[in-house]
Structure formats: structure tokens, C-alpha cells
Structure 1
């Protein structure tokens, strides 16, 4: 992959717990294959004003939304938050359409999936969200029920979706889609974090030593 920049959308009320796994692994590249460098993670927003997450963390965006183009991006990351159905996010939804059309992976979790459903984007992809009944209730225009998957996270082509309690699964799907880890490394990393069983720490270290 030529481009090494990951752009994450940041906005007031964004959910702190939904993006930590994926950004940490993409930025450090600590479990990547030996010949793959880490990514640069940059934030963007509707303005350059400081945003405040749901946990009270203050973030100064790196870029305006208008500055983000597919040619500069390896992955577009959309965390959840409490305001995704607000029309103010419309410019971001348009970017999602452009990026998907250009073949750039887009990863959306929790509230972001609801916004994609409201925009009709999920109608064309296998996907998941927090709950199908809730999704239909808050998005009357949603027509993608036949493509809904009752899984923690789903990848279909360049779109990755996850429920709000599945940040680890989101990260797993992103790392798999970008093909930056060996299968053994990724499996061990996921099971270590999911099961908290030390055997997977040793399997993870062994997979890296083997250069897999």
C-alpha cells in the first residue's frame, strides 16, 4: 500500500473507547509484518476548533474535512458518537461515498453506522450495527435489512462496520483488510485481548520471531 495515512473523523461527543485499539496498532505497527511500516494517524473535523469527546478528552483536529481526499488516504475511520444523525455531518457522509467509490477502505462503528444507514450507503453492503431493530427505528429510510449481519463486525469489500461494544473486532477487521499482519499474529493478538489468556501472548511473540 503506497499511502500510509489514516484519517479519523473527530467531533464533539465522539466515543473514546471505540477507536483506541485500531489507532494504536496502526500508528505503532508493532505487530506488522517485517516489511510493512506503520501508518500516520491524522484527525479531521468540520472546523479546527478543539473538540471534546464523550469522556472529556480535548482534541485539536489536524485537518479540515475539505482537505481530505482519497489520494492521500489508506483508511477512513469513523468513530461513534451522540450526534451522527445531525445534518452537520453531511460533508463527512459525502466523503465516505467518494472514498468507497475510489476503493479506499472505510471503517465505521456504532453511531457512524447509523449515519451510513440513514444515507442509504448500507443498503449496498453486507453490514452490522448496534441492533437491527434500533437501526430501523431511528432510520425510517433504511432499506438494507436483507444485508444486515448479526455479527460484532463485518467487512464487505471496502466497508467495515461494527457495533459500539466491538472496538476490538473493528480493529481486527481493519488489520485484516489492510493485510498488515500475518494470520497467526493477528489471530494471537485478537485472542490475547479478547480472552486475556497468557498463552496467546507467547504465541503472538513466537509469530513475530518467526517472521510470519
Structure 2
């Protein structure tokens, strides 16, 4: 059985609780190889104060080996202080890989146009419009805790359980 490689992007100030229901179940699955990475591979500190050293830097991530990527929330997305992830996300999206974003990470996808023509959710419509000035997907916004459309999974920050459910379904963990 070939395992699916699911990568979790970590950065200083990521919202650790937003992936807390997701990661233990993925880690337990015999179908999944869970991998953590950051931009530079150096230790980071979560919003909850956990010091974490990822396994990889972004340069070590081969998009061809990625089955799915998870983008946890955090104010860094709102502040647009995360640099260096665009190329990887562009490749993964072009390869129709699963991209999951919760809370603040949805503003990143919205700002890059990934949500313009797909059903999606976030913390609120006005939230996306405020933090993603180039967002043009209001007609496709759905006020739910988690929404999946094609290869994109989006979730409200208060929906980490629903987010986990959608990731499990998309990766056939359930």
C-alpha cells in the first residue's frame, strides 16, 4: 500500500489548535505519512507557545510527492508576513493536489484568486473582503464551518473538527 504524503505548513504564530483534531488521526492512519515543514526548516513557535522544529524546509518539499497540504490559520496570513510559499501552492494547485486552509489561511487563498470560482468558506465574508483585497469570490461564499470544492478545503476558525472531517473524507481516512 502506497501511503499518501500530507504536509503541514508551520510558521511562527500558527494557530496550533486549528489542526489539533486533524493531526493525531492522520498520524495514526496507516494510509498517511504526515510531514511538517516551514519556510526555512528552523524552529518556530506556535500561537499557543509550543516550540516546534519541522522536519523539512520548503526547498525540500517535492510537489510531486505531496498528496495534500494543510495551511493552518494565524495572524501572519492577515499581516501578509508569510513569504516563500507561493511557488509551492501554485504547483500543487496546478497538479490538482488537495489544499486545505483554515481561518486566516483562507485569506491567502482568497487573495491569490484560488477561491474566486469555487465554493468556499472562511471566518466571514467581510473577513475575506477585508484581508484579501483582490478577492472576487463573494458569489461562491458559503456560510458553513467547512466547505470542499474540487481540490480545495476551506474552514472557519471555529470549525477545526469540521475541517478535519473534510480532510479525512478527501483523503479517504474515514
TM-score tier, shorter chain, comes to over 0.9
User: SS state of the match for residue 123, structure 1?
Assistant: coil
1:81 aligned partner: 74
- The CA distance in 2 between the partners of 1:42 and 1:165, in whole Å, is 24
Q: Which has the higher helix share?
A: 1
Cα distance per residue 1:1-51 (max 9 Å; x no partner)? 84422110000110011001111111102xxxxxxx231211111112210
User: SS state of the match for residue 17, structure 1?
Assistant: helix
Q: Which has the higher strand share?
A: 2
* Alignment pair present for 1:46 and 2:39: yes
- The CA distance in 2 between the partners of 1:44 and 1:171, in whole Å, is 19
Deviation of 1:55 after TM superposition, in Å, equals: 0.6
Q: 2:55 aligns with which of 41, 47, 62?
A: 62
- The CA distance in 2 between the partners of 1:169 and 1:147, in whole Å, is 19
Deviation of 1:178 after TM superposition, in Å, equals: 1.2
Q: Which runs of 5+ in 2 are unaligned?
A: none
User: SS state of the match for residue 44, structure 1?
Assistant: strand
- The CA distance in 2 between the partners of 1:102 and 1:74, in whole Å, is 10
Q: 1:142 aligns with which of 131, 135, 140?
A: 135
- The CA distance in 2 between the partners of 1:180 and 1:50, in whole Å, is 29
1:27 aligned partner: 27
1:109 aligned partner: 102
- The CA distance in 2 between the partners of 1:16 and 1:171, in whole Å, is 13
1:193 aligned partner: none
TM-score, scaled to structure 2? 0.93
Cα distance per residue 1:165-205 (max 9 Å; x no partner)? 10000010011111222xxxxxxxxxxxxxxxxxxxxxxxx
TM-score, scaled to structure 1? 0.77
Q: Which runs of 5+ in 1 are unaligned?
A: 30-36, 182-212
User: SS state of the match for residue 107, structure 1?
Assistant: strand
Give yes or no for contact 1:127–1:155 (8 Å, CA) kept in 2: yes
Give yes or no for contact 2:113–2:134 (8 Å, CA) kept in 1: yes
Give yes or no for contact 1:6–1:74 (8 Å, CA) kept in 2: yes
